[in-house]
């Protein structure tokens, strides 16, 4: 194994995330027009198939913490990349709905296993004071993977089988890279870290609210991820190759999502969430209203990408902060809720498209998004209006975080607490890092 520096690990992790999230999960919607035409699949059937990788993602995420402890980071990352290579290869060879469904289901397992593997490796290789920055760079890999997929659609719009064979080859390279760069180590827990306390009544209230909002956001975003390119081709008569520019816009805007979510967490999370949900909803109707105009369609994709990536980042920070000391649950819970929301929304969107058309389906999801945005004052950020209204905070003697303790790095700092409830100081960890040669 070759040891990476903090930034080297961040870039390497972003590359693996680009494959496992960008290519194995989010690129599928780009190829729906070509795949559905060749395999003669209805919108409802595409919706069912589109839900399968999200279901397998949730199932894989449930077992990933145990697998990381038993197998170690290296073997889990290799296993994830292996699932990705197999799933992508099966999609490229699909002859019908069944084989296509098996392929995307396996790709979802790849997605669910990769982040826990990288998180375990990050705790072993990266100084804890750098976890927030490294995590942000790795999460940007999703947008990078989406952008990488764009040229294949622009220049190889009808060669989706060849494209997925190339994606499978990239996942194969990921297997070798994971073996070479990731240590065979399980999750590291500092000796001075106290065991997590029991989850309080206020925490349960906040977790339930976070989960419901994350589920709702995934539900609202489902039709865009799965049907946006197909809508542009069907309603707007855009050439299939030009739909790749939608995903290019999503990827570019998504790169700014980490910055926006960090600012949102530092300022007023409920209000920012309301704004981002309104942006997400507006992107749906904007695309449905002007699918034939590539410029407006790309603007819709920019708005969607920024809103979606900002919200997932905000939910990640909130989950980490709400469950200090629970490394396997805090970062994972909101992503599972988002995936379940998308898995629920995908077949419903397909059913509405088949029954009433794309414009009606996208409009219905947009209205739902606006309603959810109106409920944003009860979002459980470090500013919690619901707790103030119900006096839950007083009952629990909750201490509000100052602004300087908000943001992604602050959330990671509070993942491990000592017996006094203060963040564990990473002194010994940094001394070890200084004595270890890095690339």
Distance, in Å, from the CA atom of 120 to the CA atom of 184, rounded to the nearest integer, reads: 10
SS3 state at 321: helix
Distance, in Å, from the CA atom of 170 to the CA atom of 23, rounded to the nearest integer, reads: 10
pLDDT digits 0-9 by tens, 382-438: 555 555 555 444 444 444 444 445 555 555 555 555 555 555 555 444 444 443 334
Q: Any long-range contacts for 99-106 (C-beta under 8 Å, 24+ apart)?
A: 100/35, 100/39, 100/41, 100/49, 101/48, 101/49, 101/52, 104/28, 104/49, 104/50, 104/52, 104/53, 105/52, 105/53, 105/55, 105/56, 106/56
pLDDT digits 0-9 by tens, 241-278: 888 899 999 999 988 876 777 676 667 788 889 999 99
In CATH terms, is domain 1-188 a member of 1.20.1250.20? yes
Residue 439 burial (CB < 10 Å; 0-12/13-18/19+)? exposed
Q: What is the predicted pLDDT for the residue at 139?
A: 85
pLDDT digits 0-9 by tens, 347-379: 999 999 999 999 999 999 999 999 999 999 999
SS3 state at 401: coil
Taking CA 297 as the corner, what is the angle to CA 296 and CA 301, rounded to the nearest 5 degrees? 115
Question: pTM, whole model, 2 decimals?
Answer: 0.86
Distance, in Å, from the CA atom of 291 to the CA atom of 287, rounded to the nearest integer, reads: 5
In the chain, DSSP finds a helix count (H) and a strand count (E) of: 19, 0
Q: What is the predicted pLDDT for the residue at 394?
A: 44
What's the first-to-final CA gap in the chain, in angstroms? 12
- For residue 421, the 8-state DSSP code is S
SS3 state at 417: strand
Tokens for 31? 């190829």
Q: What is the topology classification, in CATH, of domain 196-422? A: Growth Hormone; Chain: A; (1.20.1250)
Q: Do 1-188 and 196-422 agree at the fold level?
A: yes
Residue with tokens 């790709």: 107
Domain locations in the chain as residue ranges: 1-188, 196-422
């Amino acid at each position: 194994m070759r040891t990476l520096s903090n930034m080297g690990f961040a870039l390497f992790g972003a590359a693996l995330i680009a494959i496992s999230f960008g290519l194995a999960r989010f690129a599928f919607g780009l190829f729906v027009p070509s795949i559905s035409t060749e395999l003669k699949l209805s919108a409802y059937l595409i919706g069912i198939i589109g839900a399968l990788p999200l279901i397998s993602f949730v199932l894989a995420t449930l077992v990933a913490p145990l697998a990381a402890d038993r197998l170690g980071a290296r073997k889990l990352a290799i296993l994830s990349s292996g699932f990705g290579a197999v799933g992508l290869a099966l999609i490229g060879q699909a002859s019908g709905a069944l084989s296509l469904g098996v392929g995307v289901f396996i790709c979802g397992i790849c997605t669910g296993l990769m982040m826990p593997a990288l998180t375990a490796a990050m705790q072993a290789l990266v100084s804890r004071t750098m976890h927030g920055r490294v995590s942000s760079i790795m999460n940007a890999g999703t947008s990078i993977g989406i952008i990488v997929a764009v040229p294949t659609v622009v220049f190889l719009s009808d060669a989706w089988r060849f494209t997925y064979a190339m994606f499978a080859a990239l996942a194969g390279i990921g297997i070798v890279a994971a073996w070479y760069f990731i240590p065979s180590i399980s999750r590291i827990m500092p000796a001075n870290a106290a065991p997590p306390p029991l989850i309080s009544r206020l925490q349960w209230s906040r977790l339930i609210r976070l989960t419901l909002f994350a589920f709702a956001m995934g539900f609202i975003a489902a039709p865009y991820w799965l049907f946006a390119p197909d809508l542009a081709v069907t309603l707007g008569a855009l050439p299939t190759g030009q739909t790749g520019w939608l995903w290019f816009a999503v990827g570019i805007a998504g790169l700014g999502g980490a910055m926006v979510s960090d600012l949102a967490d530092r300022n007023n999370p409920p209000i920012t969430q309301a704004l981002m949900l309104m942006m997400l909803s507006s992107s749906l109707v904007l695309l449905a209203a002007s699918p034939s105009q590539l410029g407006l369609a790309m603007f819709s994709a920019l708005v969607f990408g920024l809103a979606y990536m900002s919200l997932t980042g905000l939910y990640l920070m909130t989950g980490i902060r709400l469950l200090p000391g629970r490394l396997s649950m805090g970062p994972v819970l909101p992503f599972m809720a988002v995936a379940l929301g998308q898995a629920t929304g995908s077949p419903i969107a397909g059913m509405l498209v088949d029954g009433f058309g794309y414009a009606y389906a996208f409009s219905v999801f947009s209205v739902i998004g606006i309603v959810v945005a109106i409920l944003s004052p009860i979002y459980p950020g470090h500013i919690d209006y619901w707790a103030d209204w119900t006096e839950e905070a007083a009952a629990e003697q909750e201490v509000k975080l100052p602004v300087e303790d908000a943001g992604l790095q602050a959330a990671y700092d509070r993942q491990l607490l000592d017996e006094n409830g203060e963040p564990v100081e990473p002194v010994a960890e940094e001394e070890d890092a200084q004595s270890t040669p890095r690339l």
